[in-house]
Amino acid sequence: MNNNKDSMGKFISLVLRHRPEAAYIQLDEHGWADVEQLLAGIERTGRKINMAMLEEIVRTDNKQRYSFNEDKTLIRANQGHSIAVDVGLKEQAPPEFLYHGTAVRFYESIQRQGLKPMSRLYVHLSKDIETAVNVGKRHGKPIVLKIHSGRMDREGIPFYLSENGVWLTRKVEPEYFEQVSI
Ligand code: HQG
C-alpha cells in the first residue's frame, strides 16, 4: 500500500511539474490543475485513485510538494516545475549562506558555467547541509556547494522561497560558491 502511495506520488509530481499530458490534463498559467480532471485523468491511465487518496498523498508528502486551493477544487506543485508556470513565488531576502547538493561528476561543468537550472525553472537551494547532501545523492557521489546568497542578494540578485521551504534563484555564477567538506 505504501509502495503504491509512493509511486502514485511520483506520478502526480511528474504530472503537476513536468508532463500534465501524461494524465490527459492541462495546467493553467499558475500551475493549477482541476482536481476532478486530474482524478479522472489518472484513472484513465489505468491507475486507481479517489479524492480521499489524493488528500492523503498531499497531507503526508514528505516534502509537502503539493497544495490545494481553499475549496480543494484545484491542486498544484509548490515548486520544481520544468514547464513555465507562475506559482506566485514570493521574493525574499535569503540567509547569508545557502547550500546546493550535486554530484562530483557535474562539478567541473558547474565550476565553468555556474549553477544553472538545467531542466527546471530555478536552481534549488537549501538552508542546511544535510538536505543538500540528500539532494546530491540522487545524482551520484554527493558534493555540497556553499552559496554566498547574502552577497548575491546585496548585489541585486533575486531569491524566492517556495511554499514548502525550498530556496530558488535563476542562476549562481562561479564567484558565489565554493565546495564544503561533508
Ligand atoms: C546540476 C528534488 C552541469 C545540478 C530535490 C543538479 C530538490 C549542472 C542537476 C529538487 C550545472 C539538476 C531539485 C552545470 C547545475 N553543469 N550540471 N552548469 N548546473 N547542474 O534534479 O537541485 O524530490 O533538476 O547541480 O530535493 O538536484 O523532486 O535539480 O545536480 O529540491 O521534490 O544539474 O528536486 O526535490 O538536477 O533537485 P535537478 P536538483 P523533489
Q: What pLDDT score does 81 carry? A: 96
Say if ligand 1 is within 6 A of residue 84 CB: no
Q: What is the largest CA-CA distance in the chain?
A: 51
The band of 4, judged by pLDDT with boundaries at 50, 70 and 90, is confident
The band of 2, judged by pLDDT with boundaries at 50, 70 and 90, is low
Say if ligand 1 is within 6 A of residue 10 CB: no
Q: Residue with the nearest Cα to atom 25 of ligand 1?
A: 102
Q: What is the dihedral of CA 73, 79, 80, 81, to 10 degrees?
A: 50
Ligand 1 centre distance from Cα of residue 46 (Å): 30
The band of 158, judged by pLDDT with boundaries at 50, 70 and 90, is very high
Characterize 120-151 residue by residue with b for buried, 16 or more Cβ atoms within 10 angstroms of its Cβ, and e for exposed: bbbbbbbbebebbbebbeeeeebbbbbbbbbe
Q: Residue with the nearest Cα to atom 31 of ligand 1?
A: 124
Give mean pLDDT, residues 31-55: 97
Q: What pLDDT score does 6 carry? A: 84
Which cell goes with 77? 506543485
Say if ligand 1 is within 6 A of residue 65 CB: yes
Q: What pLDDT score does 5 carry? A: 78
CA dist., res. 164 & res. 90, Å (int): 12
Say if ligand 1 is within 6 A of residue 11 CB: no
pLDDT, tens digit (0-9, with 9 covering 90-100), for 64-116: 999 999 999 999 999 999 999 999 999 999 999 999 999 999 999 999 999 99
CA dist., res. 147 & res. 125, Å (int): 8
Comparing CA positions, the residue from 168, 102, 151, 152 lying closest to residue 131 is 102
> pTM for this structure?
0.92
Give mean pLDDT, residues 51-56: 97
107 and 157 in contact (C-beta within 8 Å)? no
Ligand 1 centre distance from Cα of residue 170 (Å): 12
Say if ligand 1 is within 6 A of residue 17 CB: no
Q: Residue with the nearest Cα to atom 12 of ligand 1?
A: 118
User: For residue 167, what are the CA distances in angstroms to 40, 45, 52, 106, 173?
Assistant: 33, 33, 30, 21, 16
